[in-house]
């Protein structure tokens, strides 16, 4: 049975429509609170948010829900998603909540939940909370209603933690860094952390007004960053998304560097130091074949997971890996964070830049990606991937690419769309394969 509330990364949607309403947020607080209220201790939840206008509304509704079932609430204000994961663990909270729709426009919002260990909830835990959402909540007695407070030192705690991910002898003096915070959750902490380590920081996307998050800035709109890096003659540009769990880099020439190249750099440096565990890294089915071949030359493996940083993390924990991520920019460095952390990953890149003495364009282009093409096909109904003609076309394409490329076909988890991706050494072959499959899917709907 499909889920009504939770998707691949918590609950997300357009504010004041569908599941993303104040009423739903209050019920989520009650259901999640009922799920985590165990034992006789005072139960505690940490709530953070990004800079969306609707964050105030959703925060208030969640506070009402949690306190009504007996949980005390700690509010941090705008902070990155990984900061909430960190504070949940450090403050011995039972639960952490991040109010954010990540890289989506400001009109959307979302709710992400973290367990007491700072990791995102399992599918099983989310399913149980979803079940509780359909039942009347177990409200606390009047004397047991929770209290709410706002803490003022949350930003400082997080800045200290991310700086601790850098070796004490490393300083960024002499580096000029453009930092684009997407007018989002990291607008204060990311530039501060990088500046405190000695860099000359030029900031973009640090004037949130409630409606400009991800608007022409951030990791999904890097043109402004590219122009600023060239204009300022900076050494590197750093782009985060709205909740700062994602990182895209721009080298000194203004060229974009995606998550695959960042993972290649991090894995190489850690492998050289003997600090890489698991014998390689974890990424998703979308990572470029060029990354896999590069790692193989180093004697390392690329373990692939389903799309979504939570599935990357599951494979990391199961296989003992400490580095994982996604082509889109999620970077999970388990030695320092329990979820994707764009700021921590950025500091790792800057550290490599300082230690190498080489330009970003050299250290961040470690392999040549093979041609890769992704197309989305919208359908009106039915199950086109079960159509016999579609199956036949896919089988033929897989046979054609065998040994020289890959084919990934998956339905979207949030909309009636089939995503068709192919990659291989021959660009024209890749384009032909994708077009044939897309045509077959369209004909079957």
- The predicted-structure confidence for 10-31, as pLDDT tens digits, reads as follows 889 999 998 999 999 999 999 9
Q: How many domains does the chain have?
A: 4
Q: Give the end of a domain, one of 308, 334, 363.
A: 363
Same domain for 170 and 193: yes
Q: Give residue 413's pLDDT.
A: 67
Residues 138 and 169 in one domain: no
Domain membership of residue 32 (yes or no) is yes
Q: Which domain holds residue 415?
A: 372-443
SS3 category, 362: helix
Q: Which long-range contacts (CB under 8 A, 24 or more apart) does 398-404 make?
A: 400/429, 400/433, 401/429, 401/433, 404/429
3-state secondary structure of 358: coil
pLDDT at 414: 65
Residue 1 lies in a domain: no
At residue 1, the pLDDT reads 42
For residue range 362-379, list pLDDT tens digits in order. 999 999 999 999 999 998
Residue 169 lies in a domain: yes
Residue 250 and residue 262 share a domain:
no
Closest CA to 132 of 235, 37, 221: 37
Supply the pLDDT for residue 441: 93
Give the model confidence (pLDDT) of 121-162 as tens digits: 988 999 999 999 999 999 999 999 999 999 999 999 999 999
DSSP per-residue codes, 283-320: EETTS-HHHHHHHHHTT-EEEEE-SSHHHHHHHHHHHT
Handedness of CA 433, 434, 439, 442 (dihedral sign): positive
Percentages of the chain per state (helix, strand, coil), in multiples of 5: 40, 20, 40
In contact, 168 and 99? CB cutoff 8 Å = no
Do residue 210 and residue 273 come from a single domain? no
Q: Are 58 and 138 in the same domain? A: yes
Query: CA 56 from chain center: how many Å?
Result: 22
Tokens of 433: 């394969």
How does DSSP classify residue 139? P
CA–CA distance from 418 to each of 298, 409, 413, 437 (Å)? 35, 7, 10, 10
The residues pairing with 150 across neighbouring beta strands, listed in sequence order, are 75
| CB neighbours of residue 192 within 10 Å | 21
> Is 3 within a domain?
no
Task: Please check whether residue 148 is in contact with residue 68, taking contact to mean a CB–CB distance below 8 angstroms.
Answer: no
Paired tokens of 208: 């949130």
The single residue of 54, 100, 102, 352 carrying the catalytic annotation is 102
Do residue 348 and residue 236 come from a single domain? no
Which of 204, 237, 254 marks a domain boundary?
A: 254
Residue 111 sits in the same domain as residue 219: no
Residue 16 lies in a domain: yes
Domain with residue 433: its CATH number is 3.30.310.50
pLDDT tens by residue, 69-110 = 999 999 999 999 999 999 999 999 999 999 999 999 999 999
Whether residue 249 is found in the same domain as residue 331: no
User: Which residues neighbour 319 within 8 Å (Cβ) at sequence distance 6 or greater?
Assistant: 278, 282, 303
Same domain, yes or no: 19 and 148: yes
- Domain co-membership, 287 together with 338: yes
What is the mean pLDDT of each successive set of 10 residues along the chain, which is 445 residues long? Answer: 73 92 97 92 96 98 98 98 97 97 95 95 91 95 97 96 95 97 98 98 98 96 97 98 96 96 97 97 96 97 92 95 95 95 97 96 96 92 90 95 92 83 95 95 87
* Residue 111 counted as domain residue: yes
Q: Are residues 60 and 123 in the same domain?
A: yes
Tokens of 93: 């909270």
Judgement on whether residues 111 and 25 belong to the same structural domain of the protein? yes
In this structure, what CATH number is given to the domain that contains residue 118? 3.40.120.10
Catalytic residue at 102?
Answer: yes
In a domain, 4, yes or no: no
CA–CA separation, 337 and 334 (whole Å): 5
- 301 within domain boundaries: yes
Listed residues 302, 329, 363: the one ending a domain:
363
* CA-based radius of gyration for the chain: 22
């Amino acid at each position: 049975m499909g889920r009504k509330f939770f998707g691949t990364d918590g609950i997300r949607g357009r504010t004041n429509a569908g599941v993303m309403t104040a009423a739903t947020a209050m019920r989520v607080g009650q259901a999640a609170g009922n799920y985590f209220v165990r034992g006789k201790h005072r139960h505690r939840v940490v709530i953070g948010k990004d800079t969306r206008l609707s964050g105030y509304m959703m925060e208030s509704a969640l506070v009402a829900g949690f306190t009504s079932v007996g949980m005390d609430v700690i509010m941090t204000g705008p902070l990155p998603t990984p900061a909430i994961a960190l504070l949940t663990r450090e403050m011995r909270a039972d639960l952490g909540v991040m109010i954010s729709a990540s890289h989506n426009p400001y009109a959307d919002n979302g709710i992400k939940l973290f367990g007491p260990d700072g990791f995102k909830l399992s599918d099983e835990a989310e399913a149980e909370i979803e079940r509780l959402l359909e039942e009347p909540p177990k409200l606390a007695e009047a004397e047991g209603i929770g209290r709410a407070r706002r803490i003022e030192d949350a930003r400082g705690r997080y800045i200290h933690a991310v700086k601790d991910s850098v070796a004490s002898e490393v300083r960024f003096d002499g580096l000029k860094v453009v930092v684009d915070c997407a007018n989002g959750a990291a607008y204060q902490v990311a530039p501060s952390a990088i500046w405190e380590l000695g860099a000359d920081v030029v900031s973009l996307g640090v004037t949130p007004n409630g409606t400009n998050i991800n608007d022409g800035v951030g990791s999904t709109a890097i043109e402004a960053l590219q122009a600023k890096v060239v204009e300022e003659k900076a050494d590197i540009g750093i782009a985060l998304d709205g909740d700062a769990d994602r990182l895209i880099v721009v080298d000194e020439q203004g060229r974009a560097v995606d998550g695959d190249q960042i993972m290649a750099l991090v894995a190489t440096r850690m492998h050289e130091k003997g600090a890489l565990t698991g014998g390689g890294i974890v990424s998703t089915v979308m990572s470029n074949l060029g990354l896999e071949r590069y790692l193989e030359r180093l004697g390392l493996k690329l373990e692939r997971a389903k799309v979504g940083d939570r599935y990357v993390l599951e494979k990391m924990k199961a296989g003992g890996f400490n580095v994982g991520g996604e082509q889109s920019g999620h970077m999970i460095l388990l030695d320092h964070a329990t979820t994707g952390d764009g700021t921590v990953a950025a500091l790792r890149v800057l550290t490599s830049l300082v230690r190498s003495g080489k330009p970003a364009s050299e250290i961040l282009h470690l392999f040549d990606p093979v041609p890769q093409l992704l197309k989305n096909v919208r359908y009106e109904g039915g199950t086109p991937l079960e159509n016999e003609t579609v199956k036949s076309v896919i089988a033929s394409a897989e046979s054609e690419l065998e040994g020289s490329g890959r084919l990934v076909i998956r339905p979207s988890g949030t909309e009636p769309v089939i995503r068709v991706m192919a990659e291989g050494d021959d660009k024209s072959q890749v384009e032909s394969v994708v077009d044939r499959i897309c045509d077959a899917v369209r004909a079957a709907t």
